[in-house]
Chain A
Amino acid sequence: MKIKIPLIIFIFFIAVLFFGLFIETRTIQSPLIGKKLPNYELVELNTGYKSDIYMLPNEPFLLNVWASWCLECIREHSVLTNIAKDKKLKIVGINYKDERDDALGWLSIYGNPYLYNIYDYTGQLGLDLGVYGVPETFLVDKNKIIRAKHIGAITNDIYQQQIIPMVEKINEGN
């Protein structure tokens, strides 16, 4: 009896450390998943027209946060271009804390896979979305509920193996 309790505690402790070795410690689950997108009143990047939550697509879509100063975004861009070509999902961009000219120039160099871009110059929308590491991508359904979030660049694998099945699930649910 006397030895059992310390032994259990010790084994438990070692187990925690052991399994701790294999968990990803860096990514933090967003508390916004399952919640509605926050309201915003911003402008469209290119045209300068008013842009708000009601203008978003009426179907599941990707909301991709990017900036011209973000190096990872260049790497991600070819993947986004493929997704756009695939025509299964629309992508709305949030241009985050950027200069308009830089952003437009960047799009003309690398191509524009976005349906349109919300211009978040102050970063307030990014803050409301809990953005901390550009690029970040949200999967939003037609009711404007955030279903998933990915921090860092999207890869083809992530698109094929995680995003597509999730979109199918969302579509089936409706």
Chain B
Amino acid sequence: MKAIKNFIYFGILISIIQIGALAGAKKDDILYNQMITEIRCMVCQNQNIAESEAPLAIDLRNKVREMVDEGKDEDYIKGYMSERYSDFILYEPSFSPRNLILWLGPFLFLFIISYYFFRRSLKK
């Protein structure tokens, strides 16, 4: 049993180091790459601006690069985009009352059907 505990501790330790390293690195390039995959190309059928070579996508990539270089954070960049182009431009729907069903629906569904099945079928 001791061996198991040690393993678990080791695992937690590694995780903490990793999270720390990730947080430190989550600057410029990582933020830039993340942002351009989460912004939709408005003129394309269904692509993000990282994938698209449309002029608007290139402009928006440059804008994101500029904002990242100025030290702006994720929320600022997303806000900047949605103020001008509407929430449609963000691939991640905001966690707002309007999108509540979208975000919580799956977990609610999971809960309801689990409850339904297990209540009905488990041996008492």
Chain A residues within CB distance 8 Å of chain B: 28-32, 97, 123, 127-130, 132-133
* Chain B stretch 6-33: residues in CB contact (< 8 A) with chain A: none
Neighbouring B residues of A127 by C-beta, 8 Å: 59-60, 63, 84
The DSSP consensus for interface residues of chain B is helix
The reply to whether B88 and A123 form a contact with Cβ atoms under 8 Å apart is no
Check: B94 CB closer than 8 A to any chain A CB.
no
**Roughly how many angstroms separate A125 CA and B104 CA in the complex, as a whole number?**
38
Neighbouring A residues of B59 by C-beta, 8 Å: 123, 127
**Roughly how many angstroms separate A93 CA and B115 CA in the complex, as a whole number?**
62
What's the nearest-Cβ distance from chain B to residue A112, in Å? 25
The reply to whether A130 and B86 form a contact with Cβ atoms under 8 Å apart is yes
The reply to whether B56 and A132 form a contact with Cβ atoms under 8 Å apart is yes
What's the nearest-Cβ distance from chain B to residue A37, in Å? 12
User: What is the chain A residue whose CB lies nearest that of B88?
Assistant: A28
10 additional A-B pairs beyond A29-B86, A130-B85, A132-B85, beta carbons within 8 Å, are A28-B88, A30-B86, A31-B82, A31-B83, A31-B84, A31-B87, A127-B59, A128-B84, A132-B42, A133-B42
